[in-house]
Amino acid sequence: MVQFRLSAFADELSPEIDRQIEWLTSRGLDLLEIRGVDGTPVADITLEKAREVKEKLDRAGVGISAVGSPAGKIGINEDFGPHLEKFRHLCDICGVLEAKRMRIFSFFMPDGEDPASYRGEVMRRLGEFVRIASERGITLCHENEKGIYGDTPERCADIYNEFGGVIKNVFDHANYISCGVEPFPYAFGTVGRGLSHMHIKDANEQAEMVPAGEGIGRIPDTLDAVRGLYDGEFILTLEPHLMEFSGLQGLEKEGHTSNLGNRYASPEEAFDCALAALKKYL
């Protein structure tokens, strides 16, 4: 029997880690997918800062569901050496935070070119990530971001199969919608057996972000399917993207920006709405 646990990208609520922790605990959540810390991307914080964050999380009883890293979120033709060094640093941060999962991507493809022609280089680079992460006991979790090699369910499955399931998939409904892909049942039917966890972000036919269940992602149906496939703990991370938030521009590539509704008076209102919408289906 599956047991859903809720996490959140709480940097959408506030760039301040103290405020992120306060919101999580006040809403009864005890997991954080950490992405931004006091206005700094998690990949750029020092190990000393990571230790400070770990102490705060421990005091609050909040664990890390995953490190929401930007690993693999560069162009496939960009220099990989410096990026690989940043990945090593991210693995060190995982160690300090006692995080067992790290979210990754599979490199932006040049506009107008066939991603298949870059498959070899994508797999080579991902193989380097796997080699380093496996030495640290870290599970890599690939997200289907628009514009990267793995932005379709077929190529997400290709990555999963290439590494024998060592790289798990993170399922993001809205990202599939933005690529013109049906999240459920099509995408889920292709990658659903190889999931690490799920980002809860829905969108309508215009690819505008909406609360879970109000879009065309068929999130309630997807959750029912997860219940039929998985046993034990399964993490659902709130990533609602319902309004502008500090740090959003740094997360998205030019030309691949999210269509935000901005219908809410505050980040707290947006997040509370997102949480209430998800809880209806749990």
Domain boundaries, the chain: 2-279
Beta strands in 173-224 (DSSP E): 195-200, 202-203, 209-210
Query: Do 150 and 125 contact (CB within 8 A), yes or no?
Result: no
When pLDDT is averaged across residues 12-23 and rounded to a whole number, the result is 96
CB neighbours of residue 208 within 10 Å: 19
pLDDT of 264: 86
Decide if pLDDT at 251 tops 80. no
Query: What confidence tens digit (pLDDT) does each residue in 108-140 have?
Result: 999 999 999 999 999 999 999 999 999 999 999
> Could you give the CA distance from residue 234 to residue 223 in angstroms, rounded to a whole number?
10
In angstroms, how far is CA 71 from the centroid of its own chain?
11
| CA 166 to each of CA 42, 65, 73, 147, 198: distance values in angstroms, whole numbers, following the listed order | 23, 18, 19, 23, 17
Decide if pLDDT at 245 tops 90. no
Query: Measuring CA to CA, which residue among 245, 264, 35 is closest to residue 277?
Result: 264
pLDDT of 243: 80
Q: With cut-offs at 50, 70 and 90, classify the pLDDT of residue 213.
A: very high
Count of CA atoms in the C-beta half-sphere (13 A) of 80 = 15
Place of tokens 């941060």: 93
When pLDDT is averaged across residues 32-52 and rounded to a whole number, the result is 98
Query: Do 63 and 103 contact (CB within 8 A), yes or no?
Result: no
> Could you give the CA distance from residue 245 to residue 128 in angstroms, rounded to a whole number?
33
Token pair belonging to 263: 């219908």
Decide if pLDDT at 160 tops 70. yes
In angstroms, how far is CA 225 from the centroid of its own chain?
20
> Could you give the CA distance from residue 182 to residue 19 in angstroms, rounded to a whole number?
36
Instruction: Enumerate residues 6+ apart whose C-beta is below 8 A from 4.
Output: 223, 234, 235, 236, 282
pLDDT of 255: 46
Q: With cut-offs at 50, 70 and 90, classify the pLDDT of residue 259.
A: low
Token pair belonging to 270: 């947006």
- The matching CATH number, chosen from 3.40.50.1860, 3.20.20.150, 3.40.50.300, 3.90.550.10, for 2-279 is 3.20.20.150
pLDDT of 126: 98
Which range is least confidently modeled, 6-15, 75-84, 238-247? 238-247
pLDDT of 261: 63
- Percent of residues, the chain, with pLDDT higher than 90: 90
Q: What is the mean pLDDT of the chain?
A: 94
Report the predicted TM-score, pTM, of the whole model to 2 decimal places: 0.93
Token pair belonging to 123: 């797999």
Q: With cut-offs at 50, 70 and 90, classify the pLDDT of residue 265.
A: confident
Beta pairing, strands 36-37 & 167-172:
unpaired
Decide if pLDDT at 88 tops 50. yes
